[in-house]
Amino acid sequence: MNNSTPETGSYDHRFSGIRRLYGVQQIPRIQNAHFAIIGIGGVGSWAAESLARTGIGTLTLIDWDDICLSNTNRQIHAHTGTAGQPKVDQLAQRIHLINPHCTVHAQQAFYTPQTAHELISPNLHYVLDAIDNKNAKIHLINHCRNQQIPIITCGGAGGRIDPTQIRTADLGQSNHDPLLTQIRKQLRKDFSLPKEKKVHFGIPCVYSAEPMRYPDNQGNICTQKPTTDDGPRQLDCAAGFGSITHLTGSIGFAMAAHALNDYLANPS
């Protein structure tokens, strides 16, 4: 049955380029896929854009936050007219324009241990973790691992400018990323993941091997971590690490690529 209109066009007309890339046999799997992205910011918003333009059938977007104009440097939905609006709602509207055939579940919610079972369906084909909160990331990774839901996580995107230094590896073998180092340590301590160094966790991650750039309180930039409490600790709207789209977006695209290719390579 063809549900297309002159405005929406057919699915094949919109995504014939995907068919010519992955083959006609994979198109039904892409159409039937359900991916979730948690954290719809500088990384997650671009991952969602990539998956929408791939023709994914269902996307779940999870984020509590609203858009602010200081997100403009790194988030695809931040522009004049969207400030103050929920990130998930604005991105859902954008995805509908890109792919009217995609079902989008926009969940304006925090991911916490209390909301995990409500937000993360066991029927998901893949979860993309773009959360910037360490404890939430740790719980999400362990929750998906226990539920046998494939997940890909990411390290910090702030304080870097060179997308050619982005890497994809197993979480147990990533390096140069302070956030992932802390996550590994906590997973080993609290959730019985392998304690041996460089042992595979079976959890892919995307991270940057680039040395971080630290702003000081005079507005200067250096690659030495501040020895006082004046330095940034996180990526946020008002302070913290600086960030730029060609870095955050590249991490999001790498996550989307790995999730899609892994899903298609493992029919089950």
| Residue 117 pLDDT > 90 | yes
pLDDT at 218: 81
- Domain regions of the chain by residue span: 30-210+244-265
Tens digits of residue pLDDT in 42-71: 999 999 999 999 999 999 999 999 999 999
**Would you state the CATH architecture of domain 30-210+244-265?**
3-Layer(aba) Sandwich (3.40)
pTM of the predicted structure, to 2 decimals: 0.92
> Average of pLDDT values for 119-146?
97
Report the sign of the C-alpha dihedral through residues 97, 79, 248, 104, in that order: negative
| Residue 1 pLDDT > 50 | no
Tens digits of residue pLDDT in 91-111: 999 999 999 999 999 999 999
Take residue 21 and report the two structure tokens written for it: 């890339």
State how far the alpha carbon of 244 is from the alpha carbons of 160, 168, 241, 261, in Å.
8, 19, 10, 26
- CA pair distance 120, 168, nearest whole angstrom: 24
> Average of pLDDT values for 10-15?
96
**Strand locations in 166-223 (E):** 166-170, 204-208, 214-215, 221-222
Closest CA relative to residue 71, chosen from 259, 199, 205, 249: 249
